[in-house]
Amino acid sequence: MAEQLFYFFIYPGLIFAGVIGGLLAWFDRKITAKVQFRKGPPVLQPFYDFLKLLLVKETILPARGSRITFLIAPMFSLIGATLAAVFILLPLMNINIGFQGDLLVIFYLLTMPSLFYVIGAMASGNPLASVGASREIKLIISYELTFLLVFAAIIMKAGMTINLQEIIQMQAGGSAFIGSISGVLLFIAGLFCVQAKLGLVPFDIAEAETELSEGSFIEYSGTAYALIKYTKYIMIFILPALLVGFFMAGFNWEGMGILWSILKLLLVVLLLTLIRNTNPRLKVKQAMRFFLVGMNILVVVAIILTYFGL
Amino acid sequence: MGLKNFCLKKSLWLFHFAGASCNNCDIEILDVLTPRYDVERFGMQLIGSPRHADIILVSGSINQRDKPRLLEIYNQASKPVFVVAFGACGCTGGIFAEGNTFAGPVDKIIPVDAYIPGCPPKPEAILAGISKLVKTI
């Protein structure tokens, strides 16, 4: 019991994933600043933001709307993200308690934050928030199928094993999945799904700052918004880490492997940041067409290539 | 208390309220986000919702129609929130001070923590004003 609580709260879970995720959120903002020839924020900026929201600011509850749901939704999104972090990071950190079928659990847990953002936005009773929530739902509908197909293709490539630990070990023994043609196609599709899951710019339709003024999060303030920020920090760590586990043979914590592990993670975050900085926001229709037509065809082609062993 | 104030100082989010402005001040606010001045290195960023605001920048003269909206925005913001009266119109009313529809400078409506005069204020003046405000926290 104590071991499970330690896993959940401290080492691969809440605190560890949040701290590393905060540093990655700084990396994202710093690279954004460098792309725009600016200097960028200091290293601890995400933690200043989080602590300010948590400790200093007042939490305002909506006058009309379901207050309990409004407050519970960020907690559940944080719990979902933390559980996903535990299941993803335990195999990646070489603590072997993965079980058969943990990929499916990870897939469902990764959906929880987005779903609870929607529930919280609906509970706030703000019209802009409900527009944001409806857009978020449309985005979920469009990218989840592609993300599931990527999972299916990875399971197929790994010889029908539904266990993250075994998938990573298979790549560590032979060659990484990104070395094949189908692996590259799957990596592209997975990267765009992660971009949409994180709500970064081409797919930040739900929290469009210019027309919806933060969309789903418009009514959140103080502690509740701090929990949402923390969830986002955890997500920006675990989703690239999942991609590294799927395509680049995971992490290796021995000797020079430490450097390579960190570089792999930073490379995926760098790609996400560059996509974010070089694209305008899509419309809902365009994003749905992008995933439902373009990316799904890409993944199906990759699955067919996998079948022929390419 | 020390940690709270330190974090607040390091991460001030700006919400921009434009009254009946001639848009010159608004453009100067955007100037401090550019590479030359880069206000993000102090942890400041422009945000869209008054619920997340730490500083409300009020630019332009406030007329009869703006007054209830400004009060509503101020009440919606989560406290503690600082108000900066921005430009000649925000500070005193400027050339509109004797106008028919003028509803008083900003400090007659909501408490103001800092004034940044100028028509429009230069980006250097904005940075100086905000850093003076940060020192009072």
**Three-class HEC string of B13-59:** EEEEEECECCCHHHHHHHHCCCCCCCHHHHCCEECCCHHHCCEEEEE
Cα–Cα distance, B8 to B67 (Å, whole number): 28
- Find the closest chain A residue to B80 by CA distance: A57
Q: Chain B partners of A36 at a C-beta cutoff of 8 Å? A: 35
> Is B4 touching A (CB cutoff 8 A)?
yes
SS3 B86: strand
> Is A210 touching B (CB cutoff 8 A)?
yes
Q: Partners of B14 in the beta sheet?
A: B46, B55
> Is A223 touching B (CB cutoff 8 A)?
no
Q: Do B40 and A58 touch (CB under 8 A)?
A: no
Tell me, what's the pLDDT at B130? Answer: 87
Instruction: Please identify among residues 37-66 of chain B the ones whose CB lies closer than 8 Å to any CB of chain A.
Output: 38, 40-41, 43, 47-49, 51-52, 54
A164-199 pLDDT, tens digit per residue, is: 888 888 887 767 888 888 889 999 999 999 999 888
Tell me, what's the pLDDT at B10? Answer: 85
3-class DSSP string for chain A:
CHHHHHHHHCCCCHHHHHHHHHHHHHHHHHHHHHHCCCCCCCCCHHHHHHHHHHHHCCCCCCCCCCHHHHHHHHHHHHHHHHHHHHHHHHHHCCCCCCCCCHHHHHHHHHHHHHHHHHHHHHHHCCHHHHHHHHHHHHHHHHHHHHHHHHHHHHHHHCCCCCCHHHHHHHHHHCCCHHHCHHHHHHHHHHHHHHHHHHCCHHHCCCCCHHHHCCHHHCCCCHHHHHHHHHHHHHHHHHHHHHHHHHHCCCCCCCCCHHHHHHHHHHHHHHHHHHHHHCCCCCCHHHHHHHHHHHHHHHHHHHHHHHHCCC
| Min Cα–Cα distance to chain A from B63, Å | 24
B2-30 pLDDT, tens digit per residue, is: 888 888 888 888 888 888 888 888 888 88
Q: Residue A41: which of B3, B43, B52 has the nearest Cβ? A: B43
Q: Do A51 and B35 touch (CB under 8 A)?
A: no
Q: Partners of B13 in the beta sheet?
A: B45
> Is B80 touching A (CB cutoff 8 A)?
yes
Those residues whose C-beta lies under 8 Å from the C-beta of residue A18, and which sit 6 or more positions away, are: A230, A233, A234
pLDDT cut 90: percent of chain A above it: 35
Tell me, what's the pLDDT at A227? Answer: 92
Best residue in B6, B11, B42, B74 for a mutation probing chain A (most A CBs within 10 Å): B11
Cα–Cα distance, B42 to A251 (Å, whole number): 34
ipTM: 0.88
Which pLDDT band holds residue A5 (cuts at 50, 70, 90)?
Answer: confident
Tell me, what's the pLDDT at A98? Answer: 67
B39-94 pLDDT, tens digit per residue, is: 888 888 888 888 888 899 888 888 888 889 999 999 888 888 899 988 888 888 88
Q: Do A220 and B8 touch (CB under 8 A)?
A: no
Which domains are present in chain B? 10-136 (3.40.50.12280)
A66-89 pLDDT, tens digit per residue, is: 888 888 999 999 999 999 998 888
A112-130 pLDDT, tens digit per residue, is: 999 999 998 888 888 888 8
Cα–Cα distance, B12 to A141 (Å, whole number): 36
Q: Chain A partners of B80 at a C-beta cutoff of 8 Å? A: 56-58
pLDDT cut 70: percent of chain A above it: 98
> pTM for the complete prediction?
0.91
Phi, psi of A103, rounded to the nearest 5 degrees: -60, -40
Tell me, what's the pLDDT at B135? Answer: 86
Which pLDDT band holds residue B1 (cuts at 50, 70, 90)?
Answer: low
Strands B82-86 and B114-116: parallel
A252-298 pLDDT, tens digit per residue, is: 777 788 888 899 899 999 999 999 899 888 888 888 999 999 999 99
Tell me, what's the pLDDT at A96? Answer: 67
Kindly state the DSSP code that residue B83 receives in the 8-state scheme.
E
**Residue A61 CB-density burial (10 A; 0-12 exposed, 13-18 middle, 19+ buried):** middle
Tell me, what's the pLDDT at A270? Answer: 93
Torsion angle defined by CA atoms of residues B84, B86, A60 and B76, in that order, rounded to the nearest 10 degrees: 130
Q: Do B38 and A38 touch (CB under 8 A)?
A: yes
Kindly state the DSSP code that residue B96 receives in the 8-state scheme.
G
Q: What is the mean pLDDT of residues A46-58?
A: 88
Q: Residue B49: which of A39, A42, A214 has the nearest Cβ? A: A214
Q: What is the mean pLDDT of residues A46-51?
A: 90
Q: What is the mean pLDDT of residues B121-137?
A: 87
pLDDT > 90? residue A101:
no
Cα–Cα distance, B125 to B101 (Å, whole number): 29
pLDDT > 70? residue B102:
yes
- pLDDT averaged over every residue in chain A: 87
Those residues whose C-beta lies under 8 Å from the C-beta of residue A49, and which sit 6 or more positions away, are: A229, B11, B43
Q: Chain B partners of A217 at a C-beta cutoff of 8 Å? A: 49
Element (H, E) at B116: strand B114-116
